[in-house]
Amino acid sequence: MDTIAANYISSSDSEVDSEPEQKRAKISDSTEELNKEANLKLPTVPSTVLDKYYVSPNILKYTEEMSNLVGIKTGFRTGQFRSFIFLEWRPTSLQRQQLVKSINQFNENLTKTKGSNFRFDPLFISSLGSPEPLHVSLSKSIVCESITQRNLFYRELKKELQSVQIQPFTLTFTNKPLVLTAKQDSSMFLCLEVNRSHRTKILKPIQDAISSALETTFSNQSDIIMNFQVSNEYLHMSIAQMTNCPPSSANLKSSSIDWEPFHGLDEIKVPCKEVKCLINRQLYSIPIS
C-alpha cells in the first residue's frame, strides 16, 4: 500500500513527492525542491482503487490469534464487525510541507515552555515516508455483533446519507491548535478544529443521518448508540500524534492554554464529495448528492 501511495496521488492532488519524507525529519522548503516536485506529473488514481488498498495487512491480528491458540491472553475478540465513518483528505505535497512547518513550530514552542520530552509526529507521513490521508471522524468505532447487523447498518447508512440534501462542500478549520488525549492509551493528538459554521450547517445533517442509521440498527439500545456517536462541538482533524506520553503531559490538553495560533492553516480547504465508511477491512465511499 505504501508503494502505491508513494507513487500515485488522489484526484485532488496533482503533485507527487520526488523523494521520501522521513517521519521525524523536517521537510525542506527550498524553492528548488518545491519546483522539482511540482513539475513531476503522474496519472491520478480513482478513489475506488485507493479505497481498495486503504488498509494495510493486519499482521498484528494474526499474531494475536496465534498467541490465543497457545493460551496467551491478548484482548483480541473474534466475531465482532467494526465500522467507522469519516471524511477523508489527502494533502498535496505543498500542503504536507505547510503542515509539517506548523507541527515543527508547535514542537519548538513546547520545548521552550514545557521541556524536551514532548514531540508530536505527523500523521500524514508513514514510517516509510509515504503520504497518508487525514480524516475528520463522524463516528467512533461502531461494533456490530453479526454480519446481518453489519449489513443492515451499511444499508441504512447509505439510504440515510443519500436522503440528505447537501451538495459537495469544502471544509475549513480554525488556526487555534487543539490537543486531545486518547482514551485507549497514553497517546495525545494535535488537531485542527472544524470551523463552527461548517459543523452546524453542513456536518450536523450528516451526523443526524448517521444517528438515524444507528437507531434503526440498534433499536432500543440508546446507551450503545451514544457510545458510537461523536459530538458536533468537537469535530476536528488530527494532524500529529505523541505516543508514550510522559505523565507531565496531562496538562497539555487544558482548554485554558493559550496556544500560539498556527500560521496559514486556517486557509486550508478540504473538498468533500463523499463520506467514507470503513467496515472491517473494506472501505466504501458514499457520494454526497
> Per residue in 210-219, pLDDT tens?
999 999 999 9
What pLDDT score does 56 carry?
A: 56
In percent, the amount of the chain with pLDDT more than 70 equals: 69
Q: H or E element: which one contains 271? A: strand 270-272
> Per residue in 227-269, pLDDT tens?
999 999 989 999 999 987 766 666 666 555 678 888 888 788 9
What pLDDT score does 67 carry?
A: 46
- Spatial separation of the C-alpha atoms in residues 86 and 78, rounded to whole Å: 24
Domains and their CATH numbers in the chain: 2-287 (3.90.1140.10)
3-class SS string, 42-91? CCCCCHHHHHHCCCCCCHHHHHHHHHHHCCCCCCCCCCCEEEEEEEEECC
Of the two residues 30 and 123, the one the predictor is more confident about is 123
What pLDDT score does 280 carry?
A: 76
> Per residue in 75-94, pLDDT tens?
445 557 888 999 999 999 89
pLDDT at 102 over 80: yes
**pLDDT, average across residues 176-201:** 87
Averaged confidence pLDDT in the chain: 78
Reading the block at residue 215, the C-alpha cell is: 437507531
